[in-house]
Amino acid sequence: MVEELVAAGVALASVGTVYMMAAARVVKQYERGVVLRLGRLRSGVRGPGFTMIMPFVDRLQKVNMQIVTLPVPAQEGITRDNVTVRVDAVVYFKVVSAADAVIKVEDYRFAVSQMAQTSLRSIIGKSELDDLLSNREKLNQGLELMIDSPAVEWGVSIDRVEIKDVSLPETMKRSMARQAEADRERRARVINADAELQASKKLAEAAGVMSEQPAALQLRLLQTVVAVAAEKNSTLVLPFPVELLRFLERAQPTAHGAAPGTSHGTAHVHAQPAPRTADATGAGAQTPGEDGAEAGAGTPQALSGSQQAQRLLAQWQQSMQQQLPPVEAPLDPDFGGSKTGQD
């Protein structure tokens, strides 16, 4: 009798152990358990930890409640401004209702993936290329709303959607590069023109200052000569004498004031005759004053511009000859060098 009781106890314990092993379930912290008893949803959702179900009657389905990262394959489409692009994105979502995710949709991951691809193609067709490249935040918000609307009924909440990359054709890349290069060149030309305008204003101000002080122009000329001479080059600087210009300016009113047929201009020329110099043959040279008198006597009409210039040049040569000392001729006309054997 005792042996039968022991055997019955052992058999009962074995059955209990097998039942416990078949009914025991462990739900992790990031999961929730949905129980279906004979195919019908139980009202309560099993939380994390140890739980029991009825073997062969209940079926426990675990649902992950973590945020899922779902990459969206690249979708090719035509934008509103007729540009073919390839756009890929990534979707972050999580399950907020385990029962709806199990009952209302067969596979919520696949459903969210297909909805994301469809919404991405739709947002490509409604947007322009500039929006895809520079205004992605607005497109991300619109894409999130398009995916989240049907996903709420599935017990899924879309956390965020990001457009990762926009692939353009090679021809479009070259066109955009040329456009950017042309824009940079335009800005460079505008900046250069602005610099030229500012420099011209400064040069005009400097010219006004130099016109008030003539010595400033001479100082500037000397600075330029020093700057050129400091470099190792073969440049030859020949500054034009300003005194010559001043002489011509003083002589010009006198030339214009002499009326044709009068002796005012010729008298001015004969007032200071130059001394005669003897040449190698002993013949006297004609003075420039006589030439000036003959020129003045033979001009019954007004002098032209070239004749006035020649006359002013002759006057300047006369004044220069008056400042030079006379040259003495040698005693012997046939003097050609040193004589040997004679005193």
- The pLDDT tens digits of the residues spanning 136-150 come to 888 888 888 888 888
CATH number of 68-168: 3.30.479.30
Least confident of 16-25, 66-75, 252-261, 266-275: 266-275
Q: Where are the alpha helices (DSSP H) in 213-303?
A: 214-230, 242-257, 264-270, 288-297
127 or 306, higher pLDDT: 127
Is residue 258 scored above 50 in pLDDT? no
Predicted confidence at residue 198, as pLDDT, reads 92
Is residue 173 scored above 70 in pLDDT? yes
State the first-to-last Cα distance of the chain, in angstroms, to the nearest integer: 185
- Domain ranges within the chain, ordered by starting residue: 13-64, 68-168, 173-230, 242-276+285-323
Question: By the 8 A CB rule, do 105 and 128 touch?
Answer: no
Give CA angle at 257 (256, 259), nearest 5°. 95
Residue 244: which pLDDT band, with cuts at 50, 70 and 90? low
Residue 333: which pLDDT band, with cuts at 50, 70 and 90? very low
169 Cβ contact list (under 8 Å, min separation 6): 84
107 or 256, higher pLDDT: 107
Least confident of 1-15, 92-106, 256-270, 316-330: 256-270
Neighbours of 112 (CB within 10 A): 23
Residue 241: which pLDDT band, with cuts at 50, 70 and 90? low
Distance CA 272, CA 250 (A): 18
What does the pLDDT look like over 68-109, one tens digit per residue? 999 999 988 888 888 889 999 999 999 998 888 888 888 899
15 Cβ contact list (under 8 Å, min separation 6): none
- pLDDT above 70 covers a percentage of the chain that reads 70
Backbone φ, ψ for residue 160 (5° rounding): -165, 160
What mean pLDDT value characterizes the chain?
A: 75
